[in-house]
């Protein structure tokens, strides 16, 4: 109990440095995934604070809506983080904008949550669709923007989101990047959000994709009544968790991003949301058999007869 209380203090009670860097008007931040959610809100917040913001959107509508909601100083561009050529064009655009001053901040925020489902419902292409955005996209964008970040001795802020494979990958990549880039004066922070009400956590989209996975299952799996019941209960547990944990205040995440970009001494990791602080992160430090048991309880609680 004593150790757990110390962990809560470190996660919640520790004050972050109030000191901020100077010269916001001369600092440029590039943010991916700005059509909606965290990226959209962060772009508008930083724009109001006087930073030069270049917001990358996937759709024309997302770009036009953001431009209408921000000052004329904010610039948008189209970007598909799964397309290296699209990333190259974005890097060239940003390079022309920042010149020799370089890029102060890169926020890898773009992400997706589907396809997602029980492992044996999935195919390789399902994993690839998520990893291409949430992990490979993060790596590709970062590598192509590193020369600009080195010029400014800037910041990289990576959002560790998505289901486990991409989340662990972003964590590992960020740790390696932080250690390699410290010699160039570049600081790397990881945002570890809990459940928040964004496009990534829309239950109707997740349920629709689960139905898609279900319809393509082979017949021999469909007749395994016991296992099907288990999987259905696990799906219900996921929905139950999101319903309880999902927080509508996404500013809790963007405040972490903002601190990582503007604080003189940014933190390595930021946990946003009470569920991240009090449940998911403490759970990750427990022995595997304990965390496995706690996660399985969700299925027991939500288990329903077929």
Whole-angstrom distance, CA of residue 76 vs CA of residue 56? 6
The structure tokens listed for 264 are 């003189």
The structure tokens listed for 300 are 């027991």
Decide: 59 and 79 in contact? Cβ < 8 Å. Answer: no
Whole-angstrom distance, CA of residue 247 vs CA of residue 36? 16
Answer yes or no: 163 catalytic.
yes
Whole-angstrom distance, CA of residue 133 vs CA of residue 109? 10
Task: Determine the 3-state secondary structure of 263 from DSSP.
Answer: strand
Catalytic residue, chosen from 163, 231, 270, 285, is 163
Decide: 91 and 148 in contact? Cβ < 8 Å. Answer: yes
Instruction: Single out the residue of 84, 30, 77 nearest to residue 58, CA to CA.
Output: 77
- In the chain, which ranges are E strands? 28-31, 52-57, 75-78, 105-108, 155-159, 187-193, 269-272
Whole-angstrom distance, CA of residue 46 vs CA of residue 85? 27
Residue with tokens 């150790």: 3
Whole-angstrom distance, CA of residue 143 vs CA of residue 137? 10
**Catalytic residues, which ones?**
163
């Amino acid at each position: 109990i004593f150790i757990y209380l110390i962990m809560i203090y470190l996660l919640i009670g520790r004050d972050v440095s109030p000191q901020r860097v100077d010269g916001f008007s001369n600092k440029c931040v590039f943010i991916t995934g700005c059509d909606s959610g965290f990226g959209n809100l962060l772009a508008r917040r930083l724009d109001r604070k006087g930073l030069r913001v270049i917001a990358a959107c996937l759709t024309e509508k997302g770009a036009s809506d953001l431009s209408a909601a921000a000052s004329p100083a904010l610039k948008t561009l189209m970007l598909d983080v799964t397309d290296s050529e699209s990333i190259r064009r974005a890097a060239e655009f940003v390079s022309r904008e920042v010149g020799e001053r370089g890029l102060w901040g890169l926020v890898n925020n773009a992400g997706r949550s589907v396809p997602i489902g029980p492992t044996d419902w999935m195919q390789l292409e399902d994993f690839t669709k998520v990893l291409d955005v949430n992990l490979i996209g993060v790596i590709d964008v970062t590598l192509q923007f590193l020369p600009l970040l080195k010029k400014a001795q800037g910041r990289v802020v990576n959002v560790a989101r998505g289901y486990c494979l991409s989340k662990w990958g972003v964590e590992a990549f960020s740790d390696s990047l932080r250690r390699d880039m410290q010699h160039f004066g570049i600081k790397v922070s990881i945002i570890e959000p809990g459940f928040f009400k964004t496009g990534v956590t829309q239950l109707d989209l997740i349920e629709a994709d689960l139905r898609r996975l279900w319809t393509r299952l082979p017949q021999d799996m469909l007749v395994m009544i016991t296992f099907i019941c288990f999987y259905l209960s696990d799906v219900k547990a996921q929905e139950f968790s999101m319903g309880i944990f999902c927080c509508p205040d996404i500013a809790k995440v963007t405040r972490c991003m903002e601190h990582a970009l503007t604080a003189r001494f940014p933190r390595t990791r930021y946990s946003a949301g009470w569920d991240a602080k009090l449940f998911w992160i403490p759970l990750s430090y427990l022995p595997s058999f304990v965390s496995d048991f706690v996660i399985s309880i969700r299925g027991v609680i939500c288990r329903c007869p077929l």
